[in-house]
């Protein structure tokens, strides 16, 4: 089974690509890290409790306000949901304080998400799926790229396009908020470069949806050539071979990651 690691920066159109891949002619199962990330911090979960313990003392508006529809202890008695805009303001930005807060949040959420994603992949493998899409915004940052067989980055060439799309999508965001969110995830061109370095593919989304569909068709044809359907069936009927191939892919990705980091160190040394 081919694991496709789908990523991009905020407002590049990754969710649209994910939706297209779930529909004909592709019909691929999607394991959405953002959706799982919401589930693992729902009131009453260990992730929720850890976030509240760390952030609530210094973020009074961390939880959704009490109202007629929202009792003090939440609708299920396990606590009020997180106020995501307030948490976003706390962790998005480029200052050292924001970076530190973001690291704390990621340290709570990422392990829980990885565990849930692992079991989701196992379920799809048992069903005999030929490929699965792991929709992960921070694929490289969380180092989940080392576990996939094909990296796919959704990119735009102009950061301004990202900010305009983001402000249209989330009307409550100011331009400063949009800039902070875009830049907190790192420049998408760096992800494009990282994908190309490791043999990944790029879906360019600079135009309208019809342009995106044509571009995705081109990219998926390239992916199919590199991992034909018959090979997926061979791996499914022969689990020992699948384990060997998976181990080889893990080692290859780990080696590529080391080479990329070494390249980055050399580039920084030139500055």
Q: How would you write the chain as a 3-class SS string?
A: CEEEEEEECCCCCHHHHHHHHCCCCCCCCEEEHHHHHHHCCCCCCHHHHHHHHHHHHHCCCCECCCCCCCCCCCCCCCCCCECHHHHHHHHCCCCHHHHHHHHHHHHHHHHHHHHHHHHHHHHHHHCCCCEEEEECCCCCCCCHHHHCCEEEEEECCCHHHHHHHHHHHCCCCCHHHHHHHHHHCCCHHHHHHHHHHCCCEEEECCCCHHHHHHHHHHHHHHHHHHCCHHHHHHHHHCHHHHHHHHHHHHHHHHHHHHHHHHHHHHHHHHC
Q: How many domains does the chain have?
A: 2
- CATH number for the domain spanning 250: value is 3.40.50.300
Question: What mean pLDDT comes out for the span 44-65?
Answer: 93
| Last residue within a domain, chosen from 86, 107, 128 | 128
Average pLDDT over residues 77-85: 92
What's the pLDDT score for residue 45? Answer: 94
* pLDDT for 213: 97
**Same domain? 117 vs 219:** no
pTM: 0.81
Give yes or no: residues 70 and 84 share one domain: yes
109 and 70 in one domain? yes
Same domain? For 98 and 224 the reply is no
Same domain? For 123 and 234 the reply is no
When pLDDT is cut at 50, 70 and 90, the band that residue 267 belongs to is: confident
Answer yes or no: is 234 within a domain: yes
Q: Is residue 35 part of a domain?
A: no
Q: What is the pLDDT of residues 229-262, one digit of tens each?
A: 888 888 888 888 888 988 999 999 999 999 999 9
In a domain, 34, yes or no: no
Residue 36: inside a domain? no
Question: pLDDT tier at 185 (50, 70, 90 boundaries)?
Answer: low
Q: Which residues contact 204 (CB under 8 A, 6 or more apart)?
A: 155, 156, 157, 215
Instruction: Verify that 100 and 160 share a domain, yes or no.
Output: no
88 and 194 assigned to the same domain: no
- Shared-domain flag, residues 123 and 236: no
- Residue 56 sits in which domain range? 43-128
Which whole number is the average pLDDT over 199-209? 93
Same domain, 23 and 56: no
Band of pLDDT at residue 120, cut at 50, 70 and 90: very high
- 68 is a domain residue: yes
Does 219 map to a domain? yes
* Band of pLDDT at residue 105, cut at 50, 70 and 90: very high
Q: Residues 151, 247: one domain?
A: yes
Residue 180 in domain: yes
Instruction: Confirm whether 48 is domain-assigned.
Output: yes
pLDDT in tens, 149-164: 999 999 998 888 888 8
Average pLDDT over residues 167-172: 84
Domain final residue pick, 128, 149, 176: 128
pLDDT band at 271 (very low <50, low <70, confident <90, very high): low
Q: Of 93, 128, 163, which residue constitutes the final position of a domain? A: 128
Q: Are both 261 and 181 inside the same structural domain?
A: yes
Most confident option among 76-80, 186-190, 233-237, 265-269? 76-80
What's the whole-number mean pLDDT along residues 166-188? 79
Q: Are residues 144 and 240 in the same domain?
A: yes
């Amino acid at each position: 089974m081919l694991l496709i690691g789908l990523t991009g920066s905020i407002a590049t159109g990754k969710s649209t690509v994910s939706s297209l891949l779930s529909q004909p002619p592709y019909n691929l199962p999607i394991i959405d890290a953002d959706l799982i990330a919401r589930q693992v911090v729902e009131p009453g979960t260990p992730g929720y409790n850890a976030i509240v313990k760390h952030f609530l003392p210094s973020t009074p508006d961390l939880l959704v306000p009490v109202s007629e529809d929202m009792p003090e202890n939440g609708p299920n008695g396990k606590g009020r949901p997180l106020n995501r805009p307030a948490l976003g303001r706390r962790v998005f930005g480029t200052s050292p304080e924001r970076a530190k807060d973001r690291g704390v949040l990621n340290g709570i959420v990422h392990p829980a998400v990885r565990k849930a994603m692992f079991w989701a992949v196992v379920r799809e493998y048992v069903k005999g799926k030929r490929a699965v899409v792991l929709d992960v915004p921070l694929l490289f940052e969380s180092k989940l790229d080392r576990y996939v067989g094909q990296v796919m980055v959704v990119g735009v060439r102009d950061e301004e396009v990202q900010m305009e799309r983001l402000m249209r999508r989330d009307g409550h965001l100011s331009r400063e908020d949009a800039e902070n969110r875009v830049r907190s995830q790192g420049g998408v061109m760096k992800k494009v470069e990282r994908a190309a370095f490791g043999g990944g593919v790029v879906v360019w989304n600079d135009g309208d949806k019809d342009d995106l569909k044509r571009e995705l068709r081109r990219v998926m044809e390239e992916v199919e050539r590199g991992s034909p359907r018959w090979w997926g069936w061979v791996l499914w009927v022969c689990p020992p071979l699948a384990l060997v191939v998976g181990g080889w892919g893990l080692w290859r990705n780990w080696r590529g990651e080391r080479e990329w980091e070494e390249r980055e160190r050399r580039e920084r040394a030139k500055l």
